Amino acid sequence: MTRNGDIKLIQIENKLYNEGYDLIACIDEVGRGCLAGDVLACAIVMPKDIIINGVTDSKKLSIKKREELYEKIIKAAIAIGIGRVNSKVIDQINIKESTRIAMKQAVLNLTDQLGNTVTPDYLLVDAEKIPIAIPQMNLIKGDEKSHGIACASIVAKVYRDELCKEWGLEYPGYKIEKNKGYGTKEHRDALKERGPSPIHRISFLKNIL
């Protein structure tokens, strides 16, 4: 962990600090394109001017590297919040609205290391607008532009991957612990053979079943 490391990744946060904002929560989601399981969001408040070496978009990292960075992020973070919306709600209201709800829940669930609620004064959001009365900026490919959003993407990914292991045990045969709910050939073939499980998003399966 270094201070003033990759300046490019904290220049947006630094600009907001200079404008007088103090607690900046960065938000990202994972699982948006999956056939099964929750869409999950992480909100995170990182300390000012601290860069964790190697942090970037979670999709660009190996499993081992993500897990190593996850541990460092968890220890360094001022506050973390998780939001989840399940497949039933996704089918009812669509994935975009479900993602925004998960992000809002993540912000409302922000707690510090002692379990105290933390209310941010600004939000940096990966590509979405959150329905909440807090000033915010949405960044396309935010996990490539903001250290905080990249941290949120890593925490969200590792957290959901652990849920996928649980879902894989609860609903065997679909290899969710392996494919993470995404539509691999193996997963699609299992759906055709077995039909959907209770955690599958029926609205995502129209071209498969």
Residue 177 lies in a domain: no
Mean pLDDT taken over the chain: 94
Residue 70 lies in a domain: yes
In this predicted structure, the answer to whether residue 110 has a pLDDT above a threshold of 60 is yes
Q: Which domain holds residue 134?
A: 2-159
pLDDT range class, residue 5, cuts 50, 70, 90: very low
pLDDT, tens only, 188-209: 999 999 999 999 999 999 999 8
Mean pLDDT of 114-135: 97
Residue 130 pLDDT: 97
pLDDT range class, residue 6, cuts 50, 70, 90: low
For residues 46 and 73, give the distance between their C-alpha atoms in angstroms, rounded to a whole number.
8
Residue 51 lies in a domain: yes
Residue 131 lies in a domain: yes
In this predicted structure, the answer to whether residue 7 has a pLDDT above a threshold of 80 is no
Mean pLDDT of 84-101: 98
Residue 164 lies in a domain: no
Domain CATH for 120: 3.30.420.10
Q: How many domains is the chain built from? A: 1
Q: Regarding beta strands 24-30 and 39-45, do their DSSP bridges make them parallel or antiparallel, or are they unpaired? A: antiparallel
Instruction: Give 189's contacts (C-beta < 8 A, 6+ positions apart).
Output: none
Residue 50 lies in a domain: yes
The residue among 7 and 197 whose pLDDT is bigger is: 197
Residue 82 lies in a domain: yes
Contact present, 120 and 22 (Cβ < 8 Å): no
